[in-house]
Amino acid sequence: MSSRNTKSEEEVGAIDLTPMLDVVFIMLIFFIVTASFIKEPGIEVNRPDATTVEPKANANILVAISSDNEIWINKSVVDPRQVETQLQVLLSENPKSALVIQADNEANVKTMAEVTEAARKVGIADVSVSAEKK
């Protein structure tokens, strides 16, 4: 009979962790859903230096131009003839997004102009060039 009493006393003194685990999982789901994921163009470039650098808040479309004049969008190389199509797809996902071109120091200005022209054709009005602050 004493073993029953000690068992019930242990059960009474035990803390139920189930509600706490439920709250932790709900918070985890909340943070995953509300987190804004950083989109990477897929290549690291050496950006040019500039004295006037302003951060862009709504830059959701990133295009990188390598030193070999390869155009990178969403971690893959894109043919220059397909840039307009790729930008149209990205713009349809978020109509109010801006474009940031991350051009390498050695990249050709012609390639950057082609990307800018493709952006204007699909309706992206806010186009910027990424630079390092001096």
Tell me which fold the domain 49-133 belongs to.
Answer: Nucleotidyltransferase; domain 5 (3.30.420)
Please tell me the distance from the alpha carbon of residue 61 to that of residue 127, in angstroms, as a whole number: 10
What confidence tens digit (pLDDT) does each residue in 58-96 have? 677 889 999 899 999 888 899 999 999 999 998 888 888
Q: What is the DSSP string of 10-44?
A: HHHHPPP-HHHHHHHHHHHHHHHHHPPPPP--SS-
What does pTM read for this prediction?
0.64
**pLDDT(129) > 80:** yes
What share of the chain in percent tops pLDDT 90?
28
Residue 103, beta-bridge partner list: 65
Question: What phi and psi values does residue 127 have, to the nearest 5 degrees?
Answer: -115, 130
The domain locations on the chain are 2-34, 49-133
Of 58, 23, 17, 66, give the one whose Cα is nearest residue 41. Answer: 66
